[in-house]
A and B are shown apart, each in its own frame.
Chain A
Amino acid sequence: MAQPQPEDTETSLIDQAQNGDRNAFGELVRRHYQGVVLVVYRMCGDAGMAEDAAQEAFMRAWVNLPSYQPRSCLRNWLYRIAINAALDVLRRKPEERLEDEQVLMVTDQTAGPETALIEKEQVALLQQAMQSLPEAARSVLVLREYGHLSYQEIASVLDVPVGTVMSRLNYGRNRLRETLICHEAKTEKEYA
């Protein structure tokens, strides 16, 4: 079997992988790994569970690849499987949730240490709040914020109307906004 080249188009890699070429599938995984891991991590809120979910997602993708129609975007198809895998992993191991919440963030180097600390606190708070959102709202928020999908794409990934995507996103972001406002009010009270 010929080794896939980096310049191979996604369509030809999909075609080869559909015919059982593991190397071609490996190249596809290489291209989409970061995106899928980010999505499942934000769904699970735990690095270990995210790794399990990512592995399961790619396994399912391999098994179901022959039925994949190249008409739809592979990334969106993988995200759909990834969201399902993450939800399954969460249902299997709910007790592990939030135990290993990591707050890794890209801090603004120009900001002062105090600002960076506040920002870090806010990020941690929002990520925890996101884990408390209902799965439906969280899926939409994750696909929008980390998958960078359009509303139409989210609707097709989750198999819901665009109006539902909009209402779930409104609900999710507003819940997080309220959490942030409450936190700020609490902090101000403490310093007053």
Chain B
Amino acid sequence: MHEDMRILLNAFLDGELRGRRLQKMQTHLASCEACQNELKELRLVSNLLQAGSAPEALPTERFVSQLTLSLPRRPQRDRSLRPGSLTGWLVPAGLLGAWFFVQTVFALTNMITAANMTGLLGNAERWLGGWQMSIWFSAAANLFGGQAVGTLPTLSLLNNVSVFGANLLSGFLWQAVIVLFYWAWLFIWWLRRGPRPMKMQKAS
């Protein structure tokens, strides 16, 4: 108990103890003479350290004028791409919006195609602009007649699979384009963000 409290004496002295730990310390100090003495000595050390005043350094004004004269030139940076600036965030926000739009459009298209394949849409198929045909299927329909080809179930199924695949591929391509734009923005932002933040040396 005494040792547990002893290591917290500095935190108590600096006003860093709160709640239950503070209460426990106060209760312990009321009854422990050794800790009272140690706290008194630690307080004396702190007071003596602070009794030393500031060094006789250059007066502030002289220091400031000397320093501002010797400051190195710093390249002006484009604020538009600074982290946290509005324009800096507009590009990724726009790309995110575009990605969301493309995802929604292609998800809906695929859902409609799948519903169409399973016949869930029924008569709504005409209202949606008719049956979607792949290139090879429309060529076959032109050659052998639309009605004849449309009635063969295997060919119709293959046509639907082709349409579904084409939709997936174009969705993927659109997303890839958006991701490429995003990477390009990230790269430009990284190039233009200027000097890296300083890293603290680990004091040995």
Binding site for B on A (CB under 8 A): 19-20, 22-23, 25-26, 29-30, 33-34, 37-38, 41, 47, 50-51, 54-55, 58-60, 62-64, 66-69, 80-81, 83-84, 87, 102-107, 119, 122-123, 126-127, 130, 134-136, 138-139, 141, 144-146, 150-151, 157-159, 166, 169-170, 173-174, 176-177, 180-181
Contact across chains for A173 and B63 when beta carbons are under 8 A apart: no
A124 to chain B, nearest CB (A): 9
| A contact residues around B11 at 8 Å (CB) | 151, 166
Interface size class of B (residues with CB under 8 A): 35 or more
Q: Which residues of B are at the interface with A, using a C-beta cutoff of 8 A?
A: 7, 10-11, 14, 16, 38, 41-42, 44-46, 48-58, 60-61, 63-68, 70-72, 74, 76-77, 79, 82-84, 193-198, 200-204
Instruction: Kindly report which residue of chain A lies nearest to residue B66, judged by CB atoms.
Output: A55
* CB-based contact A54/B196 at 8 Å: no
B198:A81 contact, CB within 8 angstroms: yes
Contacts of A107 in B (CB 8 A): 51
Given A123-B48, A158-B200; A67-B53 close (CB under 8 Å): no
Contact B72 A51 (CB under 8 A): no
A71 to B57, CA, bound (A): 31
Q: Secondary structure of the B side of the interface?
A: loop
B49, B63, B194, B200: which contacts A126 (Cβ < 8 A)? B49
Main secondary structure of the interface of A (DSSP, over half): helix
Q: Which residues of B contact A22 (CB under 8 A)?
A: 68, 71
Extra pairs beyond A119-B48, A145-B50 (6, CB < 8 Å): A25-B71, A26-B64, A26-B65, A126-B48, A169-B10, A177-B41
Task: Please tell me if the beta carbons of A177 and B42 are within 8 angstroms of each other in the complex.
Answer: yes
Complex CA–CA separation, A79 to B67 (angstroms): 18
CA distance A101 to B138 in the complex (A): 95
CA distance A23 to B69 in the complex (A): 10
The 6 closest A-B pairs by CB, nearest first: A136-B203, A41-B55, A135-B203, A47-B55, A26-B68, A159-B200
- Among B64, B195, B196, B197, the one with the most A-chain Cβ atoms within 10 Å of its Cβ is B64
Most buried by A among B54, B55, B64, B68: B55
Q: Taking the nearest CB of chain B, how far is it from the CB of A177, in angstroms?
A: 5
Residues of chain B with a CB closer than 8 A to A67's CB: 193-198
Known interface pairs A19-B79, A123-B48, A173-B45; A136-B204 also in contact (CB < 8 Å): yes
